[in-house]
Amino acid sequence: MMISRRSVMRAVPVAALLGATGMAACSNDSGSSTNTSGSTAASTTSTDLALNPAAWSYDADGDVYYQLGLSYVASPQDTGYETLGVFVPGAYMSATDNGDGTFTAEVASDGAVGDWTATTAPIVLPVNTPGYAAQQPPSEYSYDTVSTYMEAGFIYVQAGLRGKDSTTDAAPGNAPWGVTDLKAAVRYLRYNAAALPGNSEQTYVFGHSGGGAQSAVMGASGDSALYTPYLEALGAATTDADGATLSDAIAGAMCWCPITSLDAANAAYEWNMGQFATTGTREAGTWTEAYSKDLAAAYADHLNGLGLVDSDGNTLALEESADGQYLAGSYYDHMVAVVEQSLNDFLAATEFPYTPNTTEMAGMEAQGGSGGPAGGPGGPGGSTGDASGLPSGAPVTARPPTAHPPARARRVPPPTAARTEMAPPPVRAAPGRAPRRIPPSRSPTRPSRTTSRL
């Protein structure tokens, strides 16, 4: 049996799934638009953002309507990124063939896919921005990329987002532009809600690593005034056609291994991974090896200052060890126990042998991820690095596990701190301290790009 994020998304209703693992928006419960005055006002959104109902393309084999290259802001700073693609199950649309390869389509309110209808289907947006890199907008249609969501009855929207690797003199890409672009995309969808199927109040974002972090920010900052000047600079949709204020608050976010503790990320990386390397910049006798050890020790000081406790109220701390940097203490033992439990849970839930699946985040393999637009550095036409299309931390190629007996829980030897990416459960802070979560460890196969490599 293979358990993946794809199968979970297909099997569990989105609202229930995100209620358990997501983060609900904090600002606006309506999710779409509000007009507190009760009167009708003129819209302040540029009509250039109106979706053209006569410009749909159609995949008859997959039964999918889609539009690509939709500019979601009226004054884009980077036209190579600030567009999106919308993909819709065919059952949700009623269309007429224009005879030129395009279709004029409107929402078929009685259309249904499984338990979803054209008016209740959730809208999902991937945030594949490893290390806070840019996310490319889709430049071509591929049924394989969106099939999981189409078959589940979701509305799938992939928006281009600027990132740290898209910055130019004319168009900045660092914070807050990535999340600003995502907010603008959500506002665009709500501005065009009448022309699009799906429930705009049930909009969700999801991501891994840097994408998980930006998903978390998106989920926690709905309608935050901090983003207003940036949205205004882009000409983002602000009101609907009736003048009601549009919201960028979302229903939930799914955040896998989010990179959020950037103030301690370098030190955490060296404690969890770097101290176990003995070649390259960590070769014995180099100043960078000494720097790595200093950072690892600094992480112990940082962590011990957080006042973390386990579920029973016991203090979690790192202690000096005979070998390595601070590989002892209650925090270390706690981490080992969490990893052992996670591995045993996996073994108990998995039938062996099995075929690993490297497309756990459907829709993120082909178009998403780091790099520039098509043809540019890092894009499909000039890809550099090893992360094209894969979330940060995901292996480029999966390796079958060694043979194991039939599925059953079994104990495994305590791993070193460098052998896991499992995130520990929440822990409580000691009295007088704000609650904190133990930061997730880094991947041993491909460390997060937000951390430094000496």
Q: How far apart are CA 125 and CA 82, in angstroms?
A: 14
What is the C-alpha end-to-end distance of the chain, expressed in Å? Answer: 40
What angle is formed at CA 374 by the lines to CA 371 and CA 375, rounded to 5 degrees? Answer: 100
Phi-psi region of 209 (alpha: psi -120 to 50; beta: other; left: phi over 0): left
Question: In 3D, which of 181, 168, 173, 166 has the Cα closest to residue 217?
Answer: 181
Q: How far apart are CA 180 and CA 390, in angstroms?
A: 23
Q: How far apart are CA 81 and CA 72, in angstroms?
A: 10
- Where do the DSSP E strands lie in 9-117? 33-34, 57-59, 64-71, 83-89, 93-97, 103-107, 112-113, 116-117
What angle is formed at CA 19 by the lines to CA 91 and CA 114, rounded to 5 degrees? Answer: 20
Beta bridge partners of 116: 113
Question: In 3D, which of 343, 349, 354, 383 has the Cα closest to residue 366?
Answer: 383
Report the pLDDT value the prediction gives residue 372, as an integer from 0 to 100.
37
Contact 363, 148 (CB under 8 A): yes
How would you classify the pairing of strands 33-34 and 245-246?
Answer: antiparallel
pLDDT tens-digit profile of 343-367?
999 999 999 998 877 655 555 554 4
Report the pLDDT value the prediction gives residue 355, as an integer from 0 to 100.
80
> Which DSSP helix (H) or strand (E) runs through 245?
strand 245-246
pLDDT tens-digit profile of 219-253?
999 999 999 999 999 999 999 989 999 999 999 99
> Which DSSP helix (H) or strand (E) runs through 246?
strand 245-246
What letter represents residue 116's amino acid?
W
Q: How many CB atoms lie within 10 A of CB 355?
A: 7
Contact 84, 95 (CB under 8 A): no
Q: Where are the alpha helices (DSSP H) in 85-200?
A: 143-152, 177-191
Q: How many CB atoms lie within 10 A of CB 434?
A: 7
How distant, in Å, are the alpha carbons of 345, 349, 354, 389, 414 from that of 400? 18, 17, 8, 21, 22
Q: How far apart are CA 439 and CA 315, in angstroms?
A: 16
Residues found in the chain: 454
pLDDT tens-digit profile of 62-103?
999 999 999 999 999 999 999 999 999 999 999 999 999 999
Place of tokens 């665009």: 188
Beta bridge partners of 117: 112
**Element counts in the chain: helices (H) and strands (E):** 9, 15
Place of tokens 């997730």: 440
Helix axes 177-191, 210-220, angle to 10 degrees: 60
Place of tokens 């000691």: 430
Q: How many CB atoms lie within 10 A of CB 194?
A: 13
Q: How far apart are CA 245 and CA 227, in angstroms?
A: 15
pLDDT in tens, the chain (454 residues): 333 333 333 333 343 333 433 444 444 444 444 444 444 566 788 999 999 999 999 999 999 999 999 999 999 999 999 999 999 999 999 999 999 999 999 999 999 999 999 999 999 999 999 989 999 999 999 999 999 999 999 999 999 999 999 988 888 888 899 999 999 999 999 999 999 999 999 999 999 999 999 999 999 999 999 999 999 999 999 999 899 999 999 999 999 989 878 889 899 999 999 999 999 999 999 999 999 999 999 999 999 999 999 999 999 999 999 999 999 999 999 999 999 999 999 999 999 998 877 655 555 554 444 433 333 333 323 333 333 333 333 323 333 333 332 333 333 333 333 333 333 333 333 334 333 333 333 333 333 333 333 3
Contact 118, 108 (CB under 8 A): yes
How distant, in Å, are the alpha carbons of 113, 314, 378, 382 from that of 193? 19, 51, 33, 36
Q: How many CB atoms lie within 10 A of CB 202?
A: 22
Contact 423, 213 (CB under 8 A): no
Q: How many CB atoms lie within 10 A of CB 47?
A: 9
What letter represents residue 145's amino acid?
T
Contact 321, 297 (CB under 8 A): no
